[in-house]
């Protein structure tokens, strides 16, 4: 079983930056594709970014492309989401997820992910 624990959320002004971290337990972390999703109040959860097992391939939602960067450190069992130029519409709970079935590729759909963290809140003030 893999456990994912997010951290790094908080309150930031528009235009600011935050870096989210997701620490994973389990020796097989390095075999999984990893992703970040978010859910704003009153909205459905949506895909944000994904990274393949090695970190060599990434994929982003259009809404965050050019502003957010996903990366991973397999030696530390951690995946990161660097968020720059934050906007009020980025306000949401952010969730880390692991896709055990994907040893390659960058999955973007929720059913493709097997493990989920508890979420960390990000609030961007205008």
pLDDT tens figures, 66-122: 999 999 999 999 999 999 999 999 999 999 999 988 777 899 999 999 999 999 999
CA distance 101 to 94: 22
DSSP 8-57: --EEEETT--EEEEEEE-SGGGGGSEEEEEEE-TTS--EEEEEE-TTSS-
pLDDT tens figures, 29-62: 888 899 999 999 999 999 999 999 999 999 999 9
């Amino acid at each position: 079983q893999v456990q994912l624990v997010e951290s790094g959320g908080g309150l930031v002004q528009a235009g600011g930056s935050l870096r989210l971290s997701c620490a994973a337990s389990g020796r097989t972390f390095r075999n999984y594709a990893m992703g970040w999703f978010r859910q704003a109040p009153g909205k459905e959860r949506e895909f944000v970014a994904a990274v393949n097992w090695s970190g060599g391939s990434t994929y982003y939602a259009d809404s965050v492309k050019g502003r957010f960067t996903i990366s991973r450190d397999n030696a530390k069992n951690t995946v990161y989401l660097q968020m720059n130029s934050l906007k009020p519409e980025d306000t949401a709970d952010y969730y880390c997820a692991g896709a055990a079935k994907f040893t390659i590729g960058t999955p973007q759909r929720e059913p493709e992910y097997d493990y989920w963290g508890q979420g960390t809140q990000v609030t961007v003030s205008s």
